[in-house]
Amino acid sequence: MDAFYASVATRDRPELRDVPVIVGGGYRGVILSANYHARAYGVRSGMPSTRARRLCPDAVRVPADHELFGTVSRAVVENFRRVTPQVEVVSLDEAFLDVRGSTRRLGTPIEIAEHLRAVIHDEQGITCSVGVAASISVAKLASRRAKPDGVVVVPPQEITSFLHPLDVGELYGVGEKTQAVLHRLGLVTVGDVAHTPLRTLQRAVGEGLGRMLHDLAWGRDTRAVTPGRVSVFGYGGDPDKSMGAQETFGRDIDDREVILREVLTLSAKVAERMRVAGVAGRTVSLTVRFADFTTLTRARTIPEATDVTQEIYRAAVRLYDALGLQRARLRLVGVRVEGLVPRSSVHRQGVLGERDRGWSEADRAVDRATRRFGRAAVQPASLLDRAAGRDEASSTGPPGARSERSTGEAPLPVGTKSSEHS
């Protein structure tokens, strides 16, 4: 997909079509995406928002709507699956399709590509770029060359002429450090790697990586499209190994209550994503980043795998308190659940005296309410004044009403739509 997050965030706002747009980031966070107008100024995803603003001070920032991104992504993937069941979803905005079994019914691969691009544009109002090739790695490189909003076809007999002029950094598995090593050896292009003896390459970057790069430089890639590899937003298949969320405060915070409100919000966000994906996990990790950018991560394994907000939050609070931060000023906090397994495989052991219905049922009731009435419909009572707390975190004035205590347990959810839906 072309600048997927930015395209989705602005598709219903025509006034932003021809201006630089940055998605997410807040005042001091990391931006999620930027449209092509902002990229022309050097803005890139993953860049600190302060740097993005310096590069492009006129950019319009829009909030990230992850629920909307997931909805659009699922719709796009369904279009792929109408063409072929052989779909490997790599991320929310990228997938590989094996269309060898679809050509008799739908035409040549380029006709299938153009059909998909037209359908996605008509239904979702966004564009995508397609690379057509005989292997995953070459198709990926071709899709980059097709951006934005195009198709590039690399026939088998033209693979080497397509690959060899490219910088070695384009090859799969070559990061900044490996690229620097190869450049120091005078290996600047993919063609240079292809014509370097295998043993020389392996001595430089290691046996396994050296062989892989040598094969890829000649277009040899035996990997097959693997349906169901990604399952973060309910596509099906094997689950990801972990899910997490983090938040950068508008200014450094040392108030435990404000910090734990954010931990609760992040715990709820992660737990909701897990329930959507049908997974649960036993290991909860907490990440904190201090004002000097020092970052600590601590993990705790709980007795049973869970997707319950309250259980994840309690584990995260224990991790926070165990750090003994007292008045240390934090720049960022994050919550992650690791070691995910399918929820259907988890059989929770009942506890003597425990209620028949508890936090798990409450979470699912909240999910139903928010799907019907929106995210603001139901939330923990301690977050009803979260806006005031976040204002404090972002430097605009005094905090609002506060709880009298801050413990490892959040109050029961409270409906805010109307009494009949509470």
What are the tens digits of pLDDT across the range 42-64?
999 888 888 999 999 999 999 88
43: left (phi over 0), alpha (psi -120 to 50) or beta: beta
Omega within 30 of 0 (cis) for the link into 85: no
Please report, in range form, the residues annotated as the binding site for Mg(2+).
93
Fold for the domain defined by 67-159: Alpha-Beta Plaits (3.30.70)
Q: Please give the CATH architecture assigned to the domain spanning 4-64.
A: 3-Layer(aba) Sandwich (3.40)
Measured in degrees and rounded to the nearest 5, phi and psi for residue 272 equal -65, -45
- How far apart CA 301 and CA 39 sit, in angstroms, is 41
Neighbours of 116 (CB within 10 A): 21
- Which of 103-112, 204-213, 390-399 has maximum average pLDDT? 103-112
Q: Looking at 164-173, 176-185, 308-317, 407-416, which range is the least confident one?
A: 407-416
At 93 the three-state DSSP class reads coil
Q: Report in angstroms the alpha-carbon separations of 391 from 181, 256, 276, 377, 395.
A: 47, 15, 30, 21, 6
Angle subtended at Cα 217 by Cα 212 and Cα 222, rounded to the nearest 5 degrees: 55
Tell me the CATH class for 242-421.
alpha beta
Neighbours of 185 (CB within 10 A): 17
- How far apart CA 128 and CA 151 sit, in angstroms, is 9
Residue 367 has pLDDT above 90, yes or no: no
Are the C-beta atoms of residues 139 and 157 closer than 8 Å to each other?
no
Residue 352 has pLDDT above 50, yes or no: no
Q: Which residues neighbour 358 within 8 Å (Cβ) at sequence distance 6 or greater? A: none
What does the longest C-alpha to C-alpha distance in the chain come to? 74
Residue 404: per-residue pLDDT: 33
Tell me the CATH class for 166-217.
mainly alpha
Residue 94 is a catalytic residue? yes
Q: Where are the domain boundaries for CATH 3.40.1170.60 in the chain? A: 4-64
* Strand-pair partners of 332: 248, 289
If one compares 236 and 341, the residue with the highest pLDDT of the two is 341
- How far apart CA 336 and CA 318 sit, in angstroms, is 14
pLDDT confidence bin for 349, thresholds 50/70/90: low
Residue 408 has pLDDT above 60, yes or no: no
Are the C-beta atoms of residues 216 and 178 closer than 8 Å to each other?
no
| In 11-93, alpha helices (H) | 36-39, 49-55, 66-83
- How far apart CA 120 and CA 162 sit, in angstroms, is 28
Are the C-beta atoms of residues 249 and 395 closer than 8 Å to each other?
no
- How far apart CA 331 and CA 364 sit, in angstroms, is 32
Residue 160's identity, in one-letter code, is T
Q: Pairing between strand 130-132 and 151-153? A: parallel
If one compares 148 and 407, the residue with the highest pLDDT of the two is 148
Q: How far is CA 243 from the centre of its chain?
A: 9
Q: Which residues neighbour 146 within 8 Å (Cβ) at sequence distance 6 or greater? A: 129, 130, 131, 152
Q: Which of 15, 88, 94, 176 is catalytic?
A: 94
Residue 167: per-residue pLDDT: 93
Sign for the CA dihedral angle at 395, 398, 401, 404 comes to: positive
At 297 the three-state DSSP class reads strand
At 331 the three-state DSSP class reads strand
Q: Where are the domain boundaries for CATH 3.30.70.270 in the chain? A: 67-159
Q: Report in angstroms the alpha-carbon separations of 42 from 33, 146, 168.
A: 12, 20, 21
Please report, in range form, the residues annotated as the binding site.
93
pTM over 0.95: no
Q: Where are the domain boundaries for CATH 1.10.150.20 in the chain? A: 166-217
- How far apart CA 123 and CA 198 sit, in angstroms, is 48
Residue 78 tokens, joined: 């369904």
